[in-house]
Chains A and B, each alone.
Chain A
Amino acid sequence: DGGITQSPKYLFRKEGQNVTLSCEQNLNHDAMYWYRQDPGQGLRLIYYSQIVNDFQKGDIAEGYSVSREKKESFPLTVTSAQKNPTAFYLCASSPWASGPYNEQFFGPGTRLTVL
């Protein structure tokens, strides 16, 4: 069953702690993305990666870090430097160089609450 998995669905952390959100895809997609969504708001791009071992900052990268050591995995770390980390985090992937169709698919999301 192909798709994007994010874990956990809900995550609680104390202020000042780093936390890593998992994202795995088995769609054989080259590109992966992280977005942040606040209540009643649209999607804001945090980081994206078009190929393994390479990634670019999005519009709101400050306080976040990522790695792309494997094609299927793109974990996001929310660091203590992120001022307002409580949000809904969405991971997505798209074919990019591996196909002519540029559909982007999303995972189910992780809701992070920092206490």
Chain B
Amino acid sequence: GQQLNQSPQSMFIQEGEDVSMNCTSSSIFNTWLWYKQEPGEGPVLLIALYKAGELTSNGRLTAQFGITRKDSFLNISASIPSDVGIYFCAGLDSGTYKYIFGTGTRLKVLA
């Protein structure tokens, strides 16, 4: 099945640093979602985006819906150890109502 290109695949950063990751698609989406998953748990929805160019924040997290509708970005400011996990993007195929997921970015924060 289709998967979105998500980069980077993994990141090792120092506590306090900012983090950026992105997701690109060959298809246009009308909805972009960002999730965080911790080991052995289900993904937790962080941010939902519904409009091209939209910029939405959730605490230290900020996500943007790309103007072309084919990409999205997630930034985490001032990282802390509990930010550790795998971050997934997802786009909604409004034709089939299937969510297409990115390959994930594994984030590790060094205290």
Contacts and interface: CB of A to CB of B under 8 A. Distances in A.
Given A42-B88, A42-B104, A45-B98, A59 B1 contact: yes
Interface residues of A, number: 29
Interface in B21-42: 30-31, 33, 35, 40-42
A71 interface: no
- Give the dominant DSSP class at A's interface: strand
A108 B1 contact: no
A90 B48 contact: no
Interface of B: 1, 3, 30-31, 33, 35, 40-45, 48, 50, 88, 90, 92, 94, 96-99, 101-104
Interface of A: 4, 6, 31, 33, 42-45, 48, 50, 56, 58-60, 88, 90, 92, 94, 96, 101-109, 111
